[in-house]
């Protein structure tokens, strides 16, 4: 084979491999699961990564569901019936999740009264068609790229999270409170983070703050150029929508540029233990947008209950909002069942659309302070900007942020 042909061949094989890797397939079966089980135990199906790349969040979400079920069982159950939880390990892969759920539902038609479909947005999004096809009552952590904004797309599925834009209200208020007039907005080129970079702009505009944006590809191993661009634009602070290693790259770049402006990370960034990603010398004037339960001053009763009822010890290095989402999904399910007086998916969905669930003794909540939905929108309409707080970056200890010593 000539060298030119070899290069062409290599490139073609790489392209083919990339294409194959980018495609995923799911099987299709004719499941008869159209109605919830009647009588006996209430079965709840959890799809969450237990061993793969998302296991740090998947295991905690499943633990939250289990804690919620144990708590409800201790209160007498739902509609006087005990709850049993089955966990499917999706290994952090949407295709695996889809395949497992199809198989599970085919083998156990009409068994499950509720499903917690996936530990994060892309997996939830992959399962939406199956949940809809089989008319399962589902409560998810979030619906990917707003897949359940239109209720018609998810007639029996509800998202704990609301409009993503609300997560940016707290940082915008933080900048306004500091009287900044020019803020740099830096984001990774991912759906979620890129949306946040867009979502914060109306809040900044409303506060009279000028802004400049920059973004970087997910494969970047340095963001010095992007930070340099924001510095040249005269930014007095940076809002950074990023997670993983880029959190460290941003702090490295700030130090390298000798640019001591505050950096506020978004909620995605706050899900990481930021102090583990940068030396202490690079952490001054660094903030994160945390779920309210993560704030050092937070003392939600539900968090204590999760610890009490969880079958195993929670991972103290994972933020509390992960177990909280599993827990709150069970509280929502219980409230819907109580309101509907039935476990059929359509009855539960109709009841959920009419519910306004607020944090209290009867329904202790941990993820958001309230949940409500309409017949047109199945994202949480009661989520508010105050469900998030901007706090100085801290170590995650006991699933909360502990101030740096």
At its nearest, how many Å lie between other proteins and the CB of residue 53? 4
Q: H or E element: which one contains 230? A: helix 224-232
Q: With respect to other proteins, which residue has the nearer C-beta, 223 or 351? A: 223
Q: With respect to other proteins, which residue has the nearer C-beta, 196 or 387? A: 196
CA atoms within 13 A on the CB side of 22: 6
Q: With respect to other proteins, which residue has the nearer C-beta, 21 or 40? A: 21
Q: With respect to other proteins, which residue has the nearer C-beta, 81 or 231? A: 231
At its nearest, how many Å lie between other proteins and the CB of residue 48? 15
Q: With respect to other proteins, which residue has the nearer C-beta, 219 or 312? A: 219
At its nearest, how many Å lie between other proteins and the CB of residue 218? 9
As a whole number of angstroms, the distance between CA 388 and CA 168 comes to: 9
Instruction: List Cβ neighbours of 84 (8 Å cut-off, separation of 6 or more).
Output: 41, 42, 43, 44, 69
Q: What is the 3-state secondary structure (H, E, C) of 116-182?
A: EECCCHHHHHHHHHHHHHCCCCEEECCCCCCCCCCHHHCCCEEECCCCHHHHHHHHHHHHHHCCCCE
As a whole number of angstroms, the distance between CA 206 and CA 403 comes to: 31
At its nearest, how many Å lie between other proteins and the CB of residue 402? 18
Q: With respect to other proteins, which residue has the nearer C-beta, 242 or 345? A: 242
At its nearest, how many Å lie between other proteins and the CB of residue 52? 8
As a whole number of angstroms, the distance between CA 401 and CA 160 comes to: 22
At its nearest, how many Å lie between other proteins and the CB of residue 284? 15
Q: With respect to other proteins, which residue has the nearer C-beta, 217 or 403? A: 217
The token duo for 349 is 């969905």
The token duo for 394 is 């801290």
Strands 210-216 vs 182-188: parallel, antiparallel or unpaired: parallel
At its nearest, how many Å lie between other proteins and the CB of residue 127? 21
List contacts with other proteins (CB under 8 A).
1, 3-4, 6-7, 9-11, 13-14, 17, 53-54, 56, 189, 214-217, 219-222, 224-226, 228-229, 244-245, 248, 255-258, 272-273, 276-279
As a whole number of angstroms, the distance between CA 237 and CA 342 comes to: 52
């Amino acid at each position: 084979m000539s060298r030119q042909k070899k290069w062409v061949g290599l490139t073609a094989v790489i392209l083919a491999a990339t294409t194959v890797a980018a495609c995923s397939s799911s099987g299709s079966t004719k499941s008869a699961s159209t109605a919830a089980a009647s009588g006996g135990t209430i079965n709840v199906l959890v799809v969450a990564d237990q061993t793969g790349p998302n296991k740090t969040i998947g295991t905690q979400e499943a633990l939250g569901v289990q804690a919620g079920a144990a708590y409800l069982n201790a209160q007498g159950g739902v509609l006087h019936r005990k709850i049993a939880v089955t966990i499917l390990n999706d290994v952090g892969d949407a295709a695996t999740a889809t395949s497992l759920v199809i198989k599970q539902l085919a083998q156990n038609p009409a068994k499950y009264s509720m499903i917690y479909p996936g530990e994060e947005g892309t997996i939830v999004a992959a399962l939406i068609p199956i949940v809809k096809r089989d008319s399962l009552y589902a409560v998810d952590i979030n619906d990917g790229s707003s897949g359940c904004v239109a209720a018609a797309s998810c007639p029996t599925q509800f998202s704990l999270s609301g409009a993503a834009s609300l997560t940016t209200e707290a940082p915008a208020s933080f900048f306004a409170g500091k009287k900044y007039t020019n803020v740099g907005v830096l984001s990774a080129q991912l759906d979620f983070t890129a949306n946040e970079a867009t979502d914060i702009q109306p809040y900044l505009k409303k506060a009279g703050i000028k802004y400049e944006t920059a973004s970087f590809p997910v494969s970047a191993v340095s963001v010095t150029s992007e930070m340099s661009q924001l510095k040249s634009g005269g930014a007095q602070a940076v809002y950074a929508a990023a997670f993983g290693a880029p959190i460290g790259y941003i702090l490295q770049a700030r130090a390298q540029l000798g640019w001591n402006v505050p950096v506020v990370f978004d909620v995605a960034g706050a899900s990481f233990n930021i102090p583990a990603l940068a030396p202490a010398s690079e952490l001054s004037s660094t903030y994160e947008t945390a779920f309210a339960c993560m704030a050092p001053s937070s003392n939600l009763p539900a968090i204590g209950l999760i610890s009490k009822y969880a079958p195993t010890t929670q991972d103290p290095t994972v933020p509390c909002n992960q177990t909280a989402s599993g827990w709150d999904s069970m509280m929502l399910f219980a409230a819907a069942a109580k309101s509907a007086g039935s476990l059929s998916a359509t009855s539960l969905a109709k009841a959920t659309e009419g519910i306004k669930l607020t944090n209290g003794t009867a329904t202790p909540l941990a993820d958001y302070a309230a949940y409500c939905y309409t017949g047109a929108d199945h994202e949480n309409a009661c989520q508010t900007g105050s469900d998030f707080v901007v706090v100085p970056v801290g170590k995650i200890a006991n699933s909360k942020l502990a101030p740096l010593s």
